[in-house]
Amino acid sequence: MSFEQLGLLPELLEAIRTQGYESPTPIQSKAIPVVLTGEDVLAGAQTGTGKTAAFVLPMLQILNKRRRTSKNPRALVLTPTRELAAQIEDSVRTYGRHLRLYSTVVFGGVGINPQIAKLRKGVDLLVATPGRLLDHVGQRTVDLSEIEILVLDEADRMLDMGFIHDIRKVLRLLPEDRQNLLFSATYSNEIKKLADGLLNNPRVIEVAARNTAAETVAQAIYRVPRSRKRTALSHLIKEGDWHQVLVFTRTKHGANRLARQLTTDGINAAAIHGNKSQSARTRALGDFKSNAIQVLVATDVAARGIDVDQLPRVVNFDLPEVPETYVHRIGRTGRAGTEGKAVSLVSDNERRLLRAIERLLGRSIEVASITGVDLSPKESDLEPPPPPGSHRRSQGNRHGQRRRKNASNDNRPRRQGSNNSSNNSNNSNNSNNSNNSNSNNSNRSSSAGSQKKRSRGPQHSR
């Protein structure tokens, strides 16, 4: 099948040819015709399968049918992270270059005033992270009452990150007569519950078995004592002459430490995570894409939206606590039909996590061996490891105030009344802790249930 057979506009086909694409991916060939009909869609697509174009192309064609009559956006794309939001908006500009449509992106970590200026000029399509979008709503710098198309991209990650309350707040601001598109790489009970409350008789589109990794990614594990992981990683990178290596760690502190250690070993590395400023994250990602740095060490949140053409290799320095996160991680490589490799360094205390991942995949992962380096365990490897999450709990009191202060800047879900969070962040810790406890209880009670749309007439007949 060709893009011409999908019924796309000549202007869109020209933009596609300019990008060098000749034929659609499976998710594109299945989703684009359905989206063009105006139906709601529930799509299961792995990371790197071309799903962004699967909703951007038909969305641009629908919006191009008629001109906007106000400055308010007509299409909204919600994403979990800044990097993914920026990537999607870049795709909108790329594919819509020959159309008279306007778009912008809003996310935390950067100044809000330039975003306000762009919104005031008027946009057809808005890409946003939930927290910053609600900041704009609170300041009345955006009006969502004319949204015709809503896209939830990487919905599973938004739920994992605790954005369900923010999503429900946004839904209450949208007109009921709209088209809804939900894209998720993995399925869970939470995703099903969200879909049941959001979608109206949706078309379900799947291009691979649920909760599986792309077949183009070769997976392997190395059994390594936890104290020797840094040694093993440095050895693999040097001996294998690895370049453009994306390494995942479980914590921000761990990402910083590993990047410093690799640099000490003579490997040019940088870290990217939520505590980094947006300019630092953008610079590190740019250096990684241009091969100015050899290794990018990232946390799961910061890695969302990292899209590097033909990224050869992903390394799990720490296995994730959530098995579905493993699928997202290794989906950074093997994209758009290219081949990639995913390597995991697994210590004895991570066997439980490995078994959970293999159960999700439905198969065992090949075990490889490392030679030419001493990986014998140290005494510390014989001690019982701390329980999962203990690092986060121990860091909570020390960094809790900073997390509250930077909630909207770190892709974190907003708390109730967060429009005033910046003014209240300097209050005493005791009052903050008690207020946060009460606020969390009220959030859970006020957000119970899901929003069910009423039956609607033909799409776009407003």
Q: Say what the pLDDT of residue 259 is.
A: 95
Q: Quick one: tokens of 274?
A: 């939520």
Are 295 and 247 contacting, i.e. CB atoms less than 8 angstroms apart? Answer: yes
- Please state, as a whole number, how many other Cβ atoms lie within 10 Å of the Cβ of residue 258: 21
Nearest residue to 187 via CA among 174, 178, 175, 196: 196
- Per-residue model confidence (pLDDT) at position 328: 80
Instruction: List, for residues 427-462, the tens digit of each pLDDT value.
Output: 444 444 444 444 444 444 444 444 444 434 444 333
pLDDT given for residue 337 in this prediction? 63
Considering Cα of 79, then 85, then 88, then 92, what sign does the dihedral take? positive
Question: Which residues of the chain fall short of a pLDDT of 50?
Answer: 391-462
Q: Which residue has the tokens 């792995």?
A: 46
* Single pTM value for the model: 0.61
| Alpha carbons 70 and 124: distance in angstroms, whole number | 9
Burial of 241 from C-beta contacts in 10 A (0-12 / 13-18 / 19+):
exposed
Q: What are phi and psi of 21, to 5 degrees?
A: -90, 135
Burial 328-355 (b: 16+ CB within 10 A, else e): bbbbbbbbeeeebbbbbbbbebbeebbe
Q: What is the CA radius of gyration of the chain?
A: 22
Residue where the block lists tokens 């061996």: 369
Q: What is the pLDDT of residue 432?
A: 45
**Stretch (H or E) spanning 292:** none
Q: What is the pLDDT of residue 50?
A: 82
> Distance between CA 277 and CA 275 in Å, rounded?
6
